[in-house]
Chain A
Amino acid sequence: MEYGVVYLVLAAAFGLFMAWGIGANDVANAMAPSVGSKVLTIRQAVVVAAIFEFAGAVLAGGEVTATVRSGIVDAGLMEDSPEVLVFGMLAALAAAGTWLLVASKKGWPVSTTHSIIGALVGFAIAAVGWSAVQWGVVGTVVASWVVSPVLAGIASFLLFRSVQYLVFDTPDPLRAARVWVPVYIGLTGFVIASVTLLKGLGHLGLEISEAQSYGYSLFFAVALWLVGKGLVARIGVDPSADRDFHFASVERVFGVLMVVVACAMAFAHGSNDVANAIGPVAAVVSVVTSDGDVTAQAELPLWILLLGGGGIVAGLFMLGHHVIATVGSNITQLTPSRGFACGLATAGTVVFASGFGLPISTTQTLVGAVLGIGLARGIAALNLRVVGGVFMSWLVTLPAGGILAVFFFYLLMLAFGG
Chain B
Amino acid sequence: MKSYFSSIFGRSPVSPLQHHMAKVLDCAEALVPLFKAVSEGDYNAVATAQQRVTDLEREADALKKELRNKLPHSMFMPFDRADFLELLRAQDRIANKAKDIAGLVLGRKMQLPEPLVDPFMDFLNRAIDASRQAKNTVDQLDELVETGFRGAEVEVVQEMLDKLDAIEHDTDRMQVQLRSLLQKLEPRIPPVDVMFLYQLIERVGTLADRAQQTGSRLQILMAR
Contacts and interface: CB of A to CB of B under 8 A. Distances in A.
Contact of B8 (A247, A335, A377, A390): A390
A376 to B, nearest CB: 5
Interface in B1-56: 1-14
Contact of A378 (B8, B72, B75, B78): B78
A341 to B, nearest CB: 11
Contact of B150 (A105, A169, A333): A169
A28 B10 CA distance: 19
B196 interface: no
Interface residues of B, number: 33
A161 B145 CA distance: 13
A363 interface: yes
A362 B150 CA distance: 30
B144 to A, nearest CB: 9
A247 B5 contact: no
A319 interface: yes
B187 to A, nearest CB: 53
Contact of B7 (A168, A322, A330): A330
Contact of B6 (A160, A169, A326, A376): A326
A36 to B, nearest CB: 8
A202 interface: no
A138 interface: no
A366 interface: yes
Nearest to A331: B6
B21 to A, nearest CB: 15
B4 A378 contact: no
A107 interface: yes
Main secondary structure of the interface of A (DSSP, over half): helix
Max chain B C-beta neighbours (<10 A), residue from A332, A366, A377: A377
A136 B148 CA distance: 41
Contacts of A168: 146-148, 150-153
B77 interface: yes
A169 B77 CA distance: 21
Given A381-B13, A384-B76, A160 B148 contact: yes
B172 to A, nearest CB: 32
Interface string A300-327: 0000000000000000000100110011
A170 B153 CA distance: 9
Which 3 A-B pairs rank lowest in CB-CB distance, beginning with the nearest?
Answer: A169-B151, A107-B2, A381-B10
